[in-house]
Amino acid sequence: MTDYDQARWSREDDPVYESLLAEKRSTTVEVEGGPLPDDLTRESVTLPDPAEPELARHYTRLSEMNYGVESGPYPLGSCTMKYNPAFSEDVAADPNGLVHPDRPDDTIQGILELAYGLQRDLARIGGMDAVTLQPPAGAAGEFTGISIAQAYHEARGEDRSEVIVPASAHGTNFASAVMAGYDVVELPSADDGRLDLDALEAAVGDETAALMLTNPNTLGLFEREVTAAADLVHDAGGLLYYDGANLNALLGRARPGDMGFDVMHYNVHKTFGTPHGGGGPGAGPVGVVDDLAPYLPTPHVRETESGTYETYEPERSIGKVHGFAGNWLVLVKTYAYVARLGEEGLRDASAKAVLNANYLAEQIDFEVPYRPFHHEFAATAGDRDAADVAKRMLDYGVHPPTTKWPELVPEAMLTEPTEIESRETLDDLARAFNAAAADSDEELEAAPTRTAARRIDQASAARNPRLSWQALDDE
């Protein structure tokens, strides 16, 4: 087992870890005598004022008190924490690509060619006819896709009020549908953890705008009845939405478009190896079938007859979901990843991701109630508290899985090792699971002890919110 201690900076006489920038050196500058009359300006501004060596040391220490994919295994279920290829950062930083979004099309043919190429590649991967790159995250993709479905129904003179979402879906599905103005109809799972076709049949009707599905679902199970579900929804005049969070399981083996989905989003920061950046930026391109293409956000990129590229507003566009063209820098990295792997690499990524999940599940002492899973599995901590098990795993030098979700599995530990881990690392991960399983409740509750901070009091953080250094000063 890995012997691990995270870096921790602290001083005996001060009950903090690394001091805040503002605590190290802060300066107040009077704003006066400048180019503007006083009544338009503030009086002063107080901000941290580190010299560059201090700045470098501050953030280097903070980085040492952080854990990334390059630190060790990161099997967060549903998050697909892959290695982020180093070269894609260089490509995104190419000065030739750092242009303003209001430049005329004929001066940014390079940007538009990359955008067009990525639209095309993503469409092929998803079995879709057209793809917009504008949504800046997966949830933004959901909102975009549901808005497209809404505009499609409205154009046909239909006012539908409901979106159907399985209980096991990502929380964003519910929130995105509500944001678009829909009522959510929650669908209970069948006993085998999959979609309940009878329940779906009962729920579908004239009010159904769309069914949102993740496939494989959040238990890693393939929805075998997906085409029957598609028929039910389509027969009622509804559309089928694919949540792309779990696409890493299917690359080159199955495509949402072939399963009957009409609209989908891709999480490029999951499936296509762009960095998660501590919570973003990601990107959530949306693919659609031909019938929905006129509703895509503006601007969209197309190739002209003369082989150049141009932006245009689709005929019935839903408008915009981002001020400009989305998280472009992330999209450049996506292009690089897809080009590097190609079809064979993408297929292999899925194969190894599914193999890794299955191998890891065989090695751990926790039960996995729902099978056959693909790229991720939901183990149960049984009579242990999954959150405590996770905290203890931190002490064994690995990042723990997603805990207590999906709710279908009691004390769930949703585990997704991805294709990047070797057998040896998976064995290490398994030892961390198993060591935590063997530890006493007291040891679990006392964990973690080897991370930068010990167990953090969540309740008091929420009861007494202190959200800035100014709030700390007020105490």
Interface positions, 346-365, toward other proteins (CB under 8 A): 346, 348-349, 351-352, 354-356, 358-359, 362-363
Burial class (CB in 10 A: 0-12, 13-18, 19+), 34: exposed
For other proteins, what does the binding mask look like between residues 396 and 435, x meaning CB under 8 A? ---xx-x--x-------------xxxxx------------
Signed CA dihedral, 234, 293, 255, 329: sign only: negative
Decide: is 111 part of the binding site for other proteins (CB under 8 A).
yes
Q: Which is nearer to other proteins, 199 or 268 (CB)?
A: 268
Which position among 1, 2, 5, 70 is part of the footprint of other proteins (CB under 8 A)? 70
Q: How many residues bind other proteins (CB under 8 A)?
A: 195
Decide: is 99 part of the binding site for other proteins (CB under 8 A).
yes
Q: Which is nearer to other proteins, 342 or 410 (CB)?
A: 342
- Interacting residues with other proteins between 185 and 204 (CB under 8 A): none
- Interacting residues with other proteins between 241 and 300 (CB under 8 A): 250, 252-255, 258-259, 267, 269, 273, 275-282, 284, 298
For other proteins, what does the binding mask look like between residues 364 and 383, x meaning CB under 8 A? --------x-x---------
* Phi, psi (degrees; rounded to nearest 5) at 326: 85, -165
Q: Which is nearer to other proteins, 379 or 390 (CB)?
A: 390
Decide: is 1 part of the binding site for other proteins (CB under 8 A).
no
* Phi, psi (degrees; rounded to nearest 5) at 386: -60, -35
Residues 6 or more apart whose Cβ sits within 8 Å of residue 432: 1, 2, 393, 396, 397, 398
CB 197 within 8 A of CB 228: yes
Q: How many CB atoms lie within 10 A of CB 408?
A: 18
Which position among 77, 119, 125, 212 is part of the footprint of other proteins (CB under 8 A)? 125
Decide: is 444 part of the binding site for other proteins (CB under 8 A).
no
Question: Which range in 205-213, 236-244, 431-439, 459-467 contacts other proteins by CB under 8 A?
Answer: 459-467
What one-character-per-residue DSSP string does 133-197 give? ---SSHHHHHHHHHHHHHHHHHHTT----EEEEETTS-HHHHHHHHHTTPEEEEEPBPTTSSB-H
Q: Give the DSSP H or E segment for 40.
A: none
Measured between alpha carbons, how far is 368 from 366 in angstroms, rounded to an integer? 7
Q: How many CB atoms lie within 10 A of CB 92?
A: 20
Which position among 35, 198, 306, 438 is part of the footprint of other proteins (CB under 8 A)? 35
Decide: is 12 part of the binding site for other proteins (CB under 8 A).
no
Decide: is 10 part of the binding site for other proteins (CB under 8 A).
yes
Which position among 323, 383, 440, 442 is part of the footprint of other proteins (CB under 8 A)? 323
Q: How many CB atoms lie within 10 A of CB 26?
A: 14
